[in-house]
Structure 1
Amino acid sequence: MSGIWTGVRERVLALREAPGAANVFGASWGKSGHGFELRPPLAEADLLAAERVWGATFPEEYRGFLLEVGAGGAGPDYGLFPMKPPSAEKAASGAGQPPRIFWPAAVMELLDAHEEAAPHRDAYPDDDAYLAAFRAWDQRDDELRDELTDGALYLGHQGCAYYTLLAVTGPERGTVWDDVQAVGEGVVPIQRPGKDRLTFGEWYLGWLERAERQAWAEGES
Protein backbone atom coordinates (compact mmCIF):
# COMPACT_ATOMS: atom_id res chain seq x y z
CA MET A 1 0.00 0.00 0.00
CA SER A 2 1.18 3.52 -0.74
CA GLY A 3 -0.05 4.98 2.55
CA ILE A 4 -2.26 7.55 0.83
CA TRP A 5 -5.32 6.27 2.70
CA THR A 6 -3.95 6.72 6.21
CA GLY A 7 -6.47 8.75 8.23
CA VAL A 8 -8.83 9.24 5.28
CA ARG A 9 -11.71 7.28 6.77
CA GLU A 10 -11.53 9.43 9.91
CA ARG A 11 -11.43 12.64 7.88
CA VAL A 12 -14.51 11.65 5.88
CA LEU A 13 -16.53 10.61 8.93
CA ALA A 14 -15.57 13.80 10.76
CA LEU A 15 -17.37 15.80 8.06
CA ARG A 16 -20.68 14.54 9.45
CA GLU A 17 -20.26 17.14 12.20
CA ALA A 18 -19.03 19.99 9.99
CA PRO A 19 -21.32 23.06 10.03
CA GLY A 20 -21.47 23.28 6.27
CA ALA A 21 -21.64 19.55 5.52
CA ALA A 22 -25.07 19.79 3.89
CA ASN A 23 -23.72 22.32 1.39
CA VAL A 24 -21.33 19.80 -0.18
CA PHE A 25 -22.85 18.53 -3.41
CA GLY A 26 -24.32 15.04 -3.02
CA ALA A 27 -24.01 14.92 0.77
CA SER A 28 -27.61 15.89 1.46
CA TRP A 29 -30.14 15.02 -1.22
CA GLY A 30 -33.41 13.87 0.31
CA LYS A 31 -32.95 10.30 1.45
CA SER A 32 -30.28 9.61 -1.15
CA GLY A 33 -27.44 11.87 0.02
CA HIS A 34 -24.36 10.03 1.23
CA GLY A 35 -24.24 12.09 4.46
CA PHE A 36 -20.47 11.44 4.72
CA GLU A 37 -21.16 7.87 5.79
CA LEU A 38 -18.88 5.02 4.72
CA ARG A 39 -19.47 1.31 4.55
CA PRO A 40 -17.03 -0.81 6.57
CA PRO A 41 -13.81 -1.69 4.75
CA LEU A 42 -13.66 -5.03 2.96
CA ALA A 43 -11.75 -7.94 4.41
CA GLU A 44 -8.90 -9.11 2.17
CA ALA A 45 -10.67 -12.43 1.54
CA ASP A 46 -13.84 -10.65 0.43
CA LEU A 47 -11.88 -8.38 -1.89
CA LEU A 48 -10.11 -11.33 -3.49
CA ALA A 49 -13.45 -13.07 -3.94
CA ALA A 50 -14.92 -9.98 -5.60
CA GLU A 51 -11.94 -9.79 -7.96
CA ARG A 52 -12.30 -13.44 -8.91
CA VAL A 53 -15.93 -12.90 -9.79
CA TRP A 54 -15.20 -9.66 -11.62
CA GLY A 55 -12.39 -11.33 -13.53
CA ALA A 56 -9.49 -8.93 -12.85
CA THR A 57 -7.37 -7.46 -10.08
CA PHE A 58 -8.56 -3.97 -9.19
CA PRO A 59 -6.09 -1.06 -9.47
CA GLU A 60 -3.92 -0.70 -6.37
CA GLU A 61 -5.32 2.64 -5.16
CA TYR A 62 -8.88 1.37 -5.38
CA ARG A 63 -7.90 -1.86 -3.60
CA GLY A 64 -6.33 0.17 -0.82
CA PHE A 65 -9.45 2.29 -0.50
CA LEU A 66 -11.68 -0.77 -0.19
CA LEU A 67 -9.41 -2.32 2.43
CA GLU A 68 -8.63 0.78 4.50
CA VAL A 69 -11.35 3.39 3.98
CA GLY A 70 -14.62 1.70 3.07
CA ALA A 71 -16.46 -0.46 0.57
CA GLY A 72 -18.53 2.46 -0.72
CA GLY A 73 -20.36 5.48 0.61
CA ALA A 74 -19.23 9.10 0.81
CA GLY A 75 -17.36 10.40 -2.20
CA PRO A 76 -17.56 12.65 -5.22
CA ASP A 77 -21.01 13.58 -6.48
CA TYR A 78 -23.58 11.23 -4.91
CA GLY A 79 -20.97 8.92 -3.41
CA LEU A 80 -19.44 5.57 -4.32
CA PHE A 81 -21.46 2.52 -5.21
CA PRO A 82 -20.98 -0.29 -2.67
CA MET A 83 -18.57 -3.09 -3.41
CA LYS A 84 -20.34 -6.00 -1.79
CA PRO A 85 -18.71 -9.37 -1.14
CA PRO A 86 -20.11 -11.95 -3.56
CA SER A 87 -22.28 -14.76 -2.27
CA ALA A 88 -20.39 -17.86 -1.13
CA GLU A 89 -21.77 -19.81 -4.09
CA LYS A 90 -20.74 -17.19 -6.62
CA ALA A 91 -17.31 -16.71 -5.05
CA ALA A 92 -16.65 -20.46 -4.97
CA SER A 93 -17.60 -20.88 -8.60
CA GLY A 94 -15.46 -17.98 -9.74
CA ALA A 95 -18.40 -16.93 -11.88
CA GLY A 96 -17.96 -14.12 -14.32
CA GLN A 97 -16.11 -13.79 -17.59
CA PRO A 98 -12.81 -11.89 -17.61
CA PRO A 99 -13.60 -8.32 -18.69
CA ARG A 100 -12.42 -7.08 -22.03
CA ILE A 101 -9.74 -4.44 -22.31
CA PHE A 102 -10.96 -0.93 -21.58
CA TRP A 103 -10.13 0.92 -24.78
CA PRO A 104 -12.76 3.61 -25.29
CA ALA A 105 -11.00 5.50 -28.09
CA ALA A 106 -11.11 2.45 -30.37
CA VAL A 107 -14.76 1.72 -29.60
CA MET A 108 -15.77 5.35 -30.07
CA GLU A 109 -14.23 5.25 -33.56
CA LEU A 110 -16.38 2.22 -34.31
CA LEU A 111 -19.42 4.02 -32.91
CA ASP A 112 -18.79 7.07 -35.06
CA ALA A 113 -18.55 4.90 -38.18
CA HIS A 114 -21.66 2.99 -37.12
CA GLU A 115 -23.62 6.22 -36.70
CA GLU A 116 -22.61 7.24 -40.23
CA ALA A 117 -23.93 3.91 -41.50
CA ALA A 118 -27.41 4.30 -40.00
CA PRO A 119 -30.03 3.05 -42.49
CA HIS A 120 -32.23 5.55 -44.32
CA ARG A 121 -35.76 4.77 -45.44
CA ASP A 122 -35.20 5.89 -49.01
CA ALA A 123 -32.53 3.22 -49.49
CA TYR A 124 -35.04 0.38 -49.01
CA PRO A 125 -37.89 -0.80 -51.22
CA ASP A 126 -40.47 -0.96 -48.43
CA ASP A 127 -41.06 -0.38 -44.74
CA ASP A 128 -40.46 -4.01 -43.78
CA ALA A 129 -37.01 -4.05 -45.35
CA TYR A 130 -36.13 -0.75 -43.73
CA LEU A 131 -37.33 -1.87 -40.28
CA ALA A 132 -35.33 -5.11 -40.53
CA ALA A 133 -32.20 -3.15 -41.40
CA PHE A 134 -32.82 -0.64 -38.66
CA ARG A 135 -33.33 -3.34 -36.02
CA ALA A 136 -30.03 -4.96 -36.99
CA TRP A 137 -28.29 -1.59 -36.89
CA ASP A 138 -29.86 -0.74 -33.53
CA GLN A 139 -28.79 -4.08 -32.03
CA ARG A 140 -25.21 -3.45 -33.11
CA ASP A 141 -25.42 0.05 -31.64
CA ASP A 142 -26.38 -1.43 -28.26
CA GLU A 143 -23.51 -3.91 -28.47
CA LEU A 144 -20.98 -1.18 -29.18
CA ARG A 145 -22.25 0.93 -26.30
CA ASP A 146 -21.83 -2.03 -23.99
CA GLU A 147 -18.29 -2.54 -25.32
CA LEU A 148 -17.52 1.12 -24.63
CA THR A 149 -17.38 0.43 -20.89
CA ASP A 150 -16.01 -3.13 -20.98
CA GLY A 151 -13.08 -3.42 -18.60
CA ALA A 152 -14.30 -0.51 -16.47
CA LEU A 153 -16.09 -0.49 -13.13
CA TYR A 154 -18.92 1.93 -12.35
CA LEU A 155 -17.88 3.95 -9.28
CA GLY A 156 -20.92 6.18 -8.83
CA HIS A 157 -23.46 8.45 -10.46
CA GLN A 158 -23.36 12.19 -10.94
CA GLY A 159 -27.06 12.73 -11.64
CA CYS A 160 -28.81 13.29 -14.99
CA ALA A 161 -27.66 9.84 -16.24
CA TYR A 162 -23.96 10.73 -15.94
CA TYR A 163 -21.68 8.18 -14.26
CA THR A 164 -18.07 7.84 -13.11
CA LEU A 165 -15.97 4.88 -14.25
CA LEU A 166 -12.71 3.34 -13.09
CA ALA A 167 -10.57 1.70 -15.77
CA VAL A 168 -9.65 -1.76 -14.47
CA THR A 169 -7.95 -3.19 -17.54
CA GLY A 170 -5.91 -1.91 -20.46
CA PRO A 171 -3.46 0.98 -20.81
CA GLU A 172 -5.80 3.37 -18.96
CA ARG A 173 -5.95 1.09 -15.91
CA GLY A 174 -6.34 2.98 -12.64
CA THR A 175 -7.69 6.21 -14.18
CA VAL A 176 -11.19 7.64 -13.74
CA TRP A 177 -13.60 8.56 -16.53
CA ASP A 178 -16.92 10.29 -17.08
CA ASP A 179 -19.65 8.29 -18.80
CA VAL A 180 -21.52 11.06 -20.62
CA GLN A 181 -23.31 8.94 -23.18
CA ALA A 182 -26.52 10.68 -22.11
CA VAL A 183 -25.40 13.73 -24.09
CA GLY A 184 -23.80 11.76 -26.91
CA GLU A 185 -20.17 12.25 -25.85
CA GLY A 186 -19.28 8.66 -24.98
CA VAL A 187 -16.76 8.29 -22.17
CA VAL A 188 -14.05 10.87 -21.51
CA PRO A 189 -11.19 11.03 -18.99
CA ILE A 190 -11.68 13.16 -15.89
CA GLN A 191 -9.12 15.96 -15.98
CA ARG A 192 -7.85 18.87 -13.96
CA PRO A 193 -5.65 21.83 -15.02
CA GLY A 194 -2.29 20.57 -16.21
CA LYS A 195 -3.25 16.90 -15.99
CA ASP A 196 -5.11 14.93 -18.62
CA ARG A 197 -5.66 11.84 -16.48
CA LEU A 198 -6.51 11.35 -12.80
CA THR A 199 -5.95 8.18 -10.83
CA PHE A 200 -8.59 6.97 -8.40
CA GLY A 201 -6.57 8.28 -5.46
CA GLU A 202 -6.09 11.73 -7.00
CA TRP A 203 -9.79 11.93 -7.84
CA TYR A 204 -11.01 10.89 -4.38
CA LEU A 205 -8.51 12.85 -2.32
CA GLY A 206 -9.07 15.94 -4.45
CA TRP A 207 -12.78 15.69 -3.69
CA LEU A 208 -12.09 15.23 0.03
CA GLU A 209 -9.91 18.34 0.21
CA ARG A 210 -12.57 20.42 -1.53
CA ALA A 211 -15.33 18.99 0.67
CA GLU A 212 -13.34 19.79 3.82
CA ARG A 213 -12.78 23.39 2.75
CA GLN A 214 -16.46 23.88 1.97
CA ALA A 215 -17.91 21.99 4.94
CA TRP A 216 -15.70 23.56 7.61
CA ALA A 217 -15.59 27.09 6.18
CA GLU A 218 -19.06 27.89 7.46
CA GLY A 219 -17.84 27.60 11.02
CA GLU A 220 -14.99 30.07 10.55
CA SER A 221 -15.32 33.62 11.82
Structure 2
Amino acid sequence: MTENEQRLLARVATEARNTRPWGWTSLPAPVDESTVTRAEAALGFNLPPLLAALYLRIGDGGFGPDYGLLPLLDDPPAGEPAAVTQYLANRESGHEDPDWPWPEGVLPISHWGCAMYACVDCRTPQATVLLYEPNADEADHAWYVDAPSLAEWLQGWLDGTGWYAEDEGDAEPKPWPDFRVRTTAEGS
Protein backbone atom coordinates (compact mmCIF):
# COMPACT_ATOMS: atom_id res chain seq x y z
CA MET A 1 0.00 0.00 0.00
CA THR A 2 1.39 3.42 -0.94
CA GLU A 3 1.90 6.26 1.51
CA ASN A 4 -0.91 8.21 -0.21
CA GLU A 5 -3.27 5.25 0.21
CA GLN A 6 -2.29 4.99 3.89
CA ARG A 7 -3.14 8.69 4.38
CA LEU A 8 -6.40 8.20 2.49
CA LEU A 9 -7.34 5.25 4.70
CA ALA A 10 -6.67 7.36 7.79
CA ARG A 11 -8.99 10.11 6.48
CA VAL A 12 -11.67 7.56 5.58
CA ALA A 13 -11.37 5.99 9.05
CA THR A 14 -11.85 9.39 10.72
CA GLU A 15 -14.89 10.19 8.58
CA ALA A 16 -16.30 6.69 9.11
CA ARG A 17 -16.09 7.08 12.89
CA ASN A 18 -17.77 10.50 12.82
CA THR A 19 -20.60 10.17 10.27
CA ARG A 20 -23.24 7.56 9.45
CA PRO A 21 -24.68 7.06 6.00
CA TRP A 22 -28.43 6.88 5.63
CA GLY A 23 -29.85 3.78 7.32
CA TRP A 24 -26.76 2.90 9.40
CA THR A 25 -26.89 3.37 13.17
CA SER A 26 -23.30 2.33 13.90
CA LEU A 27 -20.08 1.43 12.15
CA PRO A 28 -19.73 -2.37 11.88
CA ALA A 29 -16.49 -3.96 13.02
CA PRO A 30 -13.89 -4.67 10.33
CA VAL A 31 -13.78 -8.14 8.78
CA ASP A 32 -10.88 -10.54 9.29
CA GLU A 33 -8.55 -12.00 6.66
CA SER A 34 -10.56 -15.24 6.51
CA THR A 35 -13.68 -13.28 5.50
CA VAL A 36 -11.79 -11.61 2.66
CA THR A 37 -10.44 -15.01 1.59
CA ARG A 38 -13.95 -16.54 1.62
CA ALA A 39 -15.33 -13.55 -0.32
CA GLU A 40 -12.61 -13.84 -2.96
CA ALA A 41 -13.24 -17.59 -3.28
CA ALA A 42 -16.97 -17.00 -3.78
CA LEU A 43 -16.30 -14.24 -6.33
CA GLY A 44 -13.57 -16.06 -8.24
CA PHE A 45 -11.24 -13.03 -8.21
CA ASN A 46 -9.20 -10.98 -5.75
CA LEU A 47 -10.32 -7.69 -4.27
CA PRO A 48 -8.14 -4.69 -5.09
CA PRO A 49 -5.81 -4.01 -2.14
CA LEU A 50 -7.43 -0.66 -1.25
CA LEU A 51 -10.92 -2.17 -1.22
CA ALA A 52 -9.77 -5.08 0.94
CA ALA A 53 -8.10 -2.60 3.30
CA LEU A 54 -11.37 -0.67 3.69
CA TYR A 55 -13.12 -3.82 4.90
CA LEU A 56 -10.15 -5.07 6.96
CA ARG A 57 -9.24 -1.80 8.67
CA ILE A 58 -12.36 0.38 8.81
CA GLY A 59 -15.56 -1.65 8.87
CA ASP A 60 -17.78 -4.20 7.16
CA GLY A 61 -19.69 -1.51 5.28
CA GLY A 62 -21.62 1.32 6.90
CA PHE A 63 -19.43 4.22 5.78
CA GLY A 64 -19.06 6.19 2.58
CA PRO A 65 -21.33 8.31 0.43
CA ASP A 66 -25.13 8.19 0.56
CA TYR A 67 -26.16 4.66 1.71
CA GLY A 68 -22.52 3.73 2.41
CA LEU A 69 -20.54 0.64 1.51
CA LEU A 70 -22.34 -2.69 1.48
CA PRO A 71 -21.16 -5.39 3.87
CA LEU A 72 -18.63 -7.59 2.09
CA LEU A 73 -19.76 -11.18 2.50
CA ASP A 74 -22.36 -11.71 5.18
CA ASP A 75 -25.87 -10.47 4.42
CA PRO A 76 -27.16 -8.20 7.17
CA PRO A 77 -30.43 -9.17 8.91
CA ALA A 78 -32.35 -6.45 7.05
CA GLY A 79 -31.63 -4.08 4.20
CA GLU A 80 -29.26 -4.42 1.29
CA PRO A 81 -27.54 -7.73 0.59
CA ALA A 82 -23.77 -8.00 0.95
CA ALA A 83 -21.55 -7.03 -1.99
CA VAL A 84 -20.72 -10.67 -2.83
CA THR A 85 -24.39 -11.72 -2.73
CA GLN A 86 -25.37 -8.80 -4.99
CA TYR A 87 -22.56 -9.55 -7.46
CA LEU A 88 -23.49 -13.23 -7.75
CA ALA A 89 -27.18 -12.37 -8.19
CA ASN A 90 -26.35 -9.78 -10.86
CA ARG A 91 -24.14 -12.22 -12.75
CA GLU A 92 -26.91 -14.84 -12.63
CA SER A 93 -29.60 -12.43 -13.84
CA GLY A 94 -27.27 -11.37 -16.68
CA HIS A 95 -27.17 -14.98 -17.85
CA GLU A 96 -30.97 -15.10 -17.78
CA ASP A 97 -31.31 -11.87 -19.79
CA PRO A 98 -28.48 -11.63 -22.33
CA ASP A 99 -29.49 -8.05 -23.19
CA TRP A 100 -28.49 -7.00 -19.64
CA PRO A 101 -25.22 -8.86 -18.89
CA TRP A 102 -23.27 -8.08 -15.71
CA PRO A 103 -19.53 -7.77 -16.40
CA GLU A 104 -17.23 -10.23 -14.70
CA GLY A 105 -15.14 -8.69 -11.94
CA VAL A 106 -17.39 -5.65 -11.41
CA LEU A 107 -18.32 -5.75 -7.72
CA PRO A 108 -21.19 -3.59 -6.45
CA ILE A 109 -19.99 -1.84 -3.29
CA SER A 110 -22.59 0.84 -2.59
CA HIS A 111 -26.29 1.29 -3.33
CA TRP A 112 -27.44 4.71 -4.56
CA GLY A 113 -31.18 3.94 -4.52
CA CYS A 114 -33.48 3.20 -7.49
CA ALA A 115 -31.43 0.02 -8.17
CA MET A 116 -28.30 2.10 -8.93
CA TYR A 117 -24.93 0.90 -7.62
CA ALA A 118 -21.37 2.14 -7.34
CA CYS A 119 -19.19 -0.77 -8.45
CA VAL A 120 -15.46 -1.45 -8.39
CA ASP A 121 -13.95 -2.94 -11.51
CA CYS A 122 -11.67 -5.46 -9.82
CA ARG A 123 -10.00 -6.28 -13.15
CA THR A 124 -8.37 -2.85 -13.50
CA PRO A 125 -5.14 -2.05 -11.61
CA GLN A 126 -6.52 1.24 -10.31
CA ALA A 127 -9.90 -0.27 -9.30
CA THR A 128 -12.04 1.98 -11.50
CA VAL A 129 -15.37 2.85 -9.89
CA LEU A 130 -18.36 2.45 -12.19
CA LEU A 131 -21.92 3.65 -11.80
CA TYR A 132 -24.60 1.14 -12.77
CA GLU A 133 -27.82 2.97 -13.66
CA PRO A 134 -30.36 0.31 -14.73
CA ASN A 135 -33.12 2.83 -15.40
CA ALA A 136 -31.65 3.40 -18.87
CA ASP A 137 -33.39 2.15 -21.99
CA GLU A 138 -30.70 -0.45 -22.71
CA ALA A 139 -27.68 -1.96 -20.98
CA ASP A 140 -25.18 -0.06 -23.15
CA HIS A 141 -26.44 3.17 -21.57
CA ALA A 142 -26.53 1.87 -17.99
CA TRP A 143 -22.80 1.99 -17.21
CA TYR A 144 -20.71 5.06 -16.40
CA VAL A 145 -17.22 5.77 -15.08
CA ASP A 146 -17.90 7.21 -11.64
CA ALA A 147 -14.19 7.74 -10.85
CA PRO A 148 -10.99 6.57 -12.57
CA SER A 149 -9.90 4.84 -9.35
CA LEU A 150 -11.24 3.77 -5.98
CA ALA A 151 -8.82 6.21 -4.34
CA GLU A 152 -10.26 9.11 -6.37
CA TRP A 153 -13.83 7.98 -5.59
CA LEU A 154 -13.08 7.98 -1.86
CA GLN A 155 -11.33 11.35 -2.18
CA GLY A 156 -14.41 12.76 -3.94
CA TRP A 157 -16.59 11.56 -1.07
CA LEU A 158 -14.29 13.05 1.56
CA ASP A 159 -13.97 16.37 -0.29
CA GLY A 160 -17.65 16.59 -1.32
CA THR A 161 -16.75 16.71 -5.02
CA GLY A 162 -18.41 13.51 -6.31
CA TRP A 163 -21.10 13.80 -8.99
CA TYR A 164 -23.72 13.12 -6.30
CA ALA A 165 -22.66 16.10 -4.14
CA GLU A 166 -25.23 18.89 -4.04
CA ASP A 167 -22.71 21.54 -5.12
CA GLU A 168 -21.40 19.52 -8.07
CA GLY A 169 -24.42 19.58 -10.42
CA ASP A 170 -22.29 19.72 -13.59
CA ALA A 171 -19.92 16.86 -12.71
CA GLU A 172 -21.75 13.94 -14.30
CA PRO A 173 -20.10 10.57 -14.90
CA LYS A 174 -19.04 9.68 -18.45
CA PRO A 175 -20.28 6.52 -20.22
CA TRP A 176 -18.11 3.42 -19.63
CA PRO A 177 -16.69 2.64 -23.08
CA ASP A 178 -15.61 -0.92 -22.18
CA PHE A 179 -19.04 -2.29 -21.25
CA ARG A 180 -19.83 -4.09 -24.53
CA VAL A 181 -16.24 -5.28 -25.02
CA ARG A 182 -16.10 -6.68 -21.48
CA THR A 183 -19.46 -8.45 -21.68
CA THR A 184 -19.18 -9.73 -25.26
CA ALA A 185 -15.64 -11.05 -24.79
CA GLU A 186 -16.80 -13.01 -21.75
CA GLY A 187 -19.49 -14.77 -23.72
CA SER A 188 -22.24 -13.32 -21.51
Settle same-fold status: TM greater than 0.5.
yes
Contact 2:106 2:120 in 1 (8 A): yes
Query: CA–CA distance in 1 between the matches of 2:95 and 2:11?
Result: 47
Contact 2:119 2:132 in 1 (8 A): yes
Shift of 1:46: 1.7
Q: 1:164 to 1:11 in 2, by over 3 A?
A: closer
In the superposition, the TM-score normalised over structure 1's length comes to 0.54
Shift of 1:84: 2.5
Aligned equivalent of 1:203, options 153, 170, 174: 153
Aligned equivalent of 1:186, options 139, 142, 153: 142
Higher relative contact order (CA 8 A, sep 6+): 1
Contact 2:29 2:60 in 1 (8 A): yes
In the alignment, is residue 38 of structure 1 matched against residue 27 of structure 2? yes
Query: CA–CA distance in 2 between the matches of 1:53 and 1:183?
Result: 29
Aligned residue identity for 1:180:
E
Q: 1:14 to 1:77 in 2, by over 3 A?
A: closer
Number of aligned residues:
138
* Identity between Structure 1 and Structure 2 (%): 27
In the superposition, the TM-score normalised over structure 2's length comes to 0.62
Contact 2:62 2:68 in 1 (8 A): yes
Query: CA–CA distance in 1 between the matches of 2:11 and 2:134?
Result: 36
User: Mind listing any 5+ residue stretches in structure 2 that lack a counterpart?
Assistant: 76-87, 89-93, 166-188
Aligned equivalent of 1:53, options 34, 42, 54: 42
Partner of 1:11: helix, strand, or coil? helix
CA RMSD of aligned residues (A): 2.9
Aligned equivalent of 1:74, options 63, 69, 75: 63
In the alignment, is residue 143 of structure 1 matched against residue 71 of structure 2? no
Deviation beyond 6 Å, 4+ runs, structure 1: none
In the alignment, is residue 5 of structure 1 matched against residue 9 of structure 2? yes
Query: CA–CA distance in 2 between the matches of 1:149 and 1:182?
Result: 17
User: Mind listing any 5+ residue stretches in structure 1 that lack a counterpart?
Assistant: 17-26, 87-98, 100-138, 192-196, 215-221
Contact 2:110 2:119 in 1 (8 A): yes
